[in-house]
Amino acid sequence: MYSQKELSAYFEEELTKQHFGGFPSQLYEPIEYTLKLGGKRIRPVLTLMGCCLFNNNISKALPQAIAIELFHNFTLIHDDIMDNAPVRRGKKTVFKKWNQNTAILSGDTLFAKAYQYAQMADKEILGDVLSVFSQTAIEVCEGQQLDLEFESRNDVTVAEYIEMIRLKTGVLFASSIKIGSYIGNAPKEDTENLYNFGTAIGLGFQLEDDLLDTYGDTTVFGKKTGGDIVTNKKTYLYLKALEKADNKTREQLIELYTKPQQDDGQKIQKAKGIFSDLGVDKDTTLLIDKYFNDSMHFLNKVNINQEKKKELRMVAERMVNRVK
């Protein structure tokens, strides 16, 4: 079994060999720009790992790993437009560097190219690969739509939020490793257990992201903390706080999120103070631990030797116990 570091280096090297240029250049330059911004590359590595659990020939899963990464970057280009985000990974976002229309078209092209890579599978499993890939694309869009709708709703529940992040984040982790296991010719029961593993770890990953945005160390996290509070994002911390708060505290928190505040720093400190007083930071950590344990439950059910699962366990631990 290859290590995450080895697979990440392999994927990065192979990705740089791909050609994403073309004419008109204004359509393709944003694609090359986006892919050169880097990132954790966790999703394509999971695809390679899913294959490697059953077949050491990871090159067979490379096209699908590239497809997953292209799809992920397509979602980021469009997300930045919807969020009006000026910066991504320390650089200008595509729609800020070029313009909104170009960003939409470049994102669409990236999505189409992702399908071109996804379909480079043996005909015996092609239907399964494309079925999972297509369903994932639909569900990610469903999750993004729910996220947008939550912005104007004041009655969002914790359960609704968990379902939204399952769709927006969890299913892409899940399909990444499931598609890889298809390439490795895994038994059906194992592909399903790996899908459930990926979903659980994806949920933990997103909740850790929520926690770091409020409580992370700015010098390590790589960006200012409190962004979710400033933009009134209804994260798990916020929704759990509403659930636990008395009437007075609930009104204070809702007012912070619904009425314009003169000072972002004070807004962050007030919201963070409420979160801490109610212990929702600890509640979030407990829920992250629950999803990690769920992921281990499904991984343990996969019918391969424990040594092969070791690296995947370590990847899962890094995903939910990170500092940035």
Is the residue at 58 inside a domain? yes
Residues 20 and 32: their CA atoms lie apart, in Å, by 6
Residue 73: which of 116, 47, 118, 103 has the closest Cα? 103
Residue 90 has a pLDDT of 82
Is the residue at 278 inside a domain? yes
Residues 129 and 218 in one domain: no
Is the residue at 191 inside a domain? no
Is the residue at 242 inside a domain? yes
Residues 212 and 317 in one domain: yes
Residue 119 has a pLDDT of 97
Task: Give how far Cα 320 sits from Cα of 154, 220, 238, 293, Å.
Answer: 29, 16, 20, 11
Residues 64 and 201 in one domain: no
If phi > 0 it is left, if psi is from -120 to 50 it is alpha, else beta; for residue 105 that is: alpha
Residue 227 has a pLDDT of 87
Residue 324 has a pLDDT of 60
Q: What is the CATH number of the domain that holds 110?
A: 1.10.600.10
Structure pTM?
0.94
Residue 87 has a pLDDT of 85
Q: Could you give the number of structural domains in the chain?
A: 2
Is the residue at 93 inside a domain? yes
Q: What is the DSSP string of 133-184?
A: HHHHHHHHHHHHHHHHHHTT-S---HHHHHHHHIIIIIHHHHHHHHHHHHHT
Residues 144 and 204 in one domain: no
- Among 151, 186, 221, the domain boundary falls at 186
Residues 178 and 209 in one domain: no
Residues 140 and 143: their CA atoms lie apart, in Å, by 5
Residue 223 has a pLDDT of 60
Q: What is the pLDDT along the chain (324 residues), one digit of tens a residue?
A: 899 999 999 999 999 999 999 999 999 999 999 999 988 899 999 999 999 999 999 999 999 999 999 999 999 999 999 988 888 888 999 999 999 999 999 999 999 999 999 999 999 999 999 999 999 999 999 999 999 999 889 899 999 999 999 999 999 999 999 999 999 999 999 999 999 999 999 999 999 999 999 998 766 655 678 989 998 999 999 999 999 999 999 999 999 999 988 899 999 999 999 999 999 999 999 999 999 999 999 999 999 999 889 999 999 999 988 756
Is the residue at 181 inside a domain? yes
Q: What's at 87, amino acid-wise? A: V
Q: Which residue range(s) make up the domain with 7?
A: 1-186
